[in-house]
Chains A and B, each alone.
Chain A
Amino acid sequence: METKNKIRVLIAKPGLDGHDKGAKIVALALRDAGMEVIYSGLHQTLDQIIQTAIQEAVDVIGLSIMSGAHLPISEKLISMMKEKGIDDIRLTVGGVIPHQDIPGLKKMGVAKVFPGGTSFDDIISGMNSLFE
């Protein structure tokens, strides 16, 4: 059976922002890189994202955030992941992320940050590097 070591990714859009072009094209790029991508759809609560990550047994959660709320959202999600015992799932964050916020995100436990404009190649190799 052709099964081993497929990376499963949940691409999630937390909150009310509806700009989903970035999330969708990244999902397509990850699929074409051989990953299995679950897309949450828009307007998700953090609880829905956590439950989806659990049920789908993903390796990575990729948050797409364009509203500027990346710091509080990531912080809250990480604490919820710990609480649910899924902090072994890697968290990555993409979207409108200013340079000065990247160290803060990394410090709170975000594994990779992909600000808008990051190439597909860099996103894919960044994702793969989490599992080498």
Chain B
Amino acid sequence: MGVAKYTKDEKGAIKTVTYQSGIKVKPVYGPEDLEKAGFDYDKDLGAPGEYPFTRSLHPQSYRSRAWTTRQYTGFGTPAETNERFKLMIANGQNGLNVAFDLPTQMGYDSDHPLAQGEVGRVGMAVDSLKDFETAFAGIPLDRIGSGLTINAVATIMMAMYQAMAEKFGYSKTRISTTPQNDILKEMIGRGAWIFPVEHGVRLVGDSIEYAVKELPRSNPVSLCGYHIRESGATPAQEIAYAFEIAKAYIDNVVQRGINPSEFVGRFSFNFNVYGNMWEQIAKFRAARKLWAKMLKNEYGVTDKKKLFLRGLFGGGGSGLTKEQPENNIMRGAYYALGAALSGAQTTALCSFDEAYTIPTPRSALLSLHTLEILMDEVGLRDTVDPLAGSYFIETLTLEMEEKILEEMKEVEDLGGMVGCIASGLIQRKLSGQAYEFEKGLQSGEYKKVGLDPGSKDNDPGATNVELHEYNDKWAQISKANLKELKRTRNDKEVASTLKALENAARFDENVMPYLVKCCHAYATVGEMAGVFRQTFGEWKEPDFY
């Protein structure tokens, strides 16, 4: 049943329950379990808003403010994206979350052969600063922050955001941007990597260092356990690997002589709500606690606010089925309930049609309403951390903490995350787990409602859904704009800024200021990424079996 392992007796009564992270669940919990686990209120929980923040980051949690929600926007041309942005802001949204198309994510311009058929498909197409000027025209950049879902070329997009803001007359000290910028998880899960591992990490380090020195309101990294989980990780591994990745970035910046206290407070996280609800709740509570403990004990961070595990707990893509897609609406509601019961600060849900396509406006609205129902109708804002003190939840939270630490230790014993990813150890482990899990799902060992193994009724293609259509005109417009740009810009300036960028890349200077200059000169994303490709080479993915 569900994603946990259950054994039953001949009458169907449950005998054993084992969660994905490997924790065995007892039929009944009582005070003796807390005692056995060595539970200590002050050490393990503390008051909400107090170290180690197991209960909540803020003393009043949802009482003072309901969770914030984020919707992913951006498709087609920058002009169309700009219309969407304005509409969302008019509807009261205080932050934008920008999706980029695949060519942009991979550092190719719209006229590159590999961009064919992909321009504007899964997000906005960006070739140069001109496109950012169009997309963000009329947006109050000192009030509205922007999340940028970009990784391999995050440095380029951060620089472009700054250049665009400066063109519009905003000082770089007043703007706020949060690029995803988590290249190591791309190498584990989402596949939008370009450069070899150590160069990828160096670029993340450059952007953090630059944010510390020049962009006081920007958050340079958003760590995604989410995609690691989607790639086959257990909930404990999701947290453990994200933390180990965070440590790889922190260590890179610390080597530059910067104190962790200057930047760790600006890290945010993105975790997955998919799975057994109790396991997720324990995962989030344990994660808040472990992050704070790790920063305090290993990196000497003392300022309370810098110990916060800030971020978005949401999504749940792996839980969705293509069969009977309406069921996904219910699944989403329960995932969100789990997130709320664990005190998620920010959330967002996958839309029910996401197993098929980019969400349609209708399905995106349904997700938003689901979240509103929980906060405004069901009563989840009534009190802070309602499950605290539960014999079960507190025991489980402690066990989860143990499991996460075990997984972290394994990575550290193998020399840390950079090496484990470069050699493919993590990827091999996760693809094997994903395979075993999928087999279990197909044999009925794990259960998803509406997905009956062996039944011919659930022909996987037997559902028609409304589709978000691809429009070829996006590519035509982008290519025409690019051609016009290349005709009108100052080629000498482009060449000299790119040359300076190449030197910085080669001689280990921080590339960010050079990228800003390239952007101002209207160098294209493809040209800037091309300099990096030339200098760093491209990553060769390790085998996975």
Contacts and interface: CB of A to CB of B under 8 A. Distances in A.
Interface of A: 15-21, 24-25, 27-29, 31, 39, 41-43, 45, 67-69, 72-73, 96-100, 102, 113, 115-121
Interface in B394-443: 431-432, 434-435, 438-439, 442
A58 B461 CA distance: 27
Nearest to A17: B102
Interface residues of B, number: 49
B118 A67 contact: yes
Interface in B454-477: 460-465, 467, 470
Contact of A118 (B121, B357, B460): B460
A69 B119 CA distance: 11
Q: Which 6 A-B pairs have the closest CB atoms?
A: A18-B191, A117-B460, A16-B102, A99-B461, A25-B435, A24-B431
A115 B435 CA distance: 17
Contacts of B131: none
A27 to B, nearest CB: 7
A16 B118 contact: yes
Given A18-B192, A69-B121, 17 more contacts: A15-B102, A15-B114, A16-B192, A17-B191, A19-B190, A21-B231, A21-B431, A24-B435, A25-B438, A28-B431, A39-B543, A67-B118, A96-B355, A98-B356, A115-B322, A117-B451, A118-B460
A29 B467 contact: no
Given A43-B106, A96-B356, A115-B461, A29 B118 contact: no
A25 B434 contact: yes
B544 interface: yes
Contacts of B114: 15-16, 43, 45
Contacts of B230: 21
Given A18-B192, A21-B232, A119-B442, A68 B121 contact: yes
B186 interface: yes
Interface of B: 102-103, 105-106, 108, 113-115, 117-118, 121-122, 186, 189-193, 230-232, 321-323, 355-358, 431-432, 434-435, 438-439, 442, 451, 453, 460-465, 467, 470, 541, 543-545
Contact of A68 (B192, B435, B470): B470
Contacts of B192: 16, 18
Contacts of B186: 18
Contacts of B544: 24, 39
B453 A119 contact: yes
B438 A45 contact: no
A31 to B, nearest CB: 7
A43 B106 CA distance: 9
Contact of A29 (B103, B435, B465): B435
- Interface SS of chain A: helix, strand, loop or mixed? loop
A67 to B, nearest CB: 6
Contact of A100 (B122, B232, B358, B464): B464
A62 B115 CA distance: 21
A12 B464 CA distance: 26
6 contacts: A16-B108, A18-B190, A18-B191, A98-B464, A99-B464, A115-B322
Nearest to A72: B117
A17 B356 CA distance: 15
Contacts of B103: 16
A34 B108 CA distance: 39
Contacts of B435: 24-25, 28-29
Contact of A117 (B121, B232, B322, B465): B322
A65 to B, nearest CB: 11
A68 B464 CA distance: 15
A99 B118 contact: no
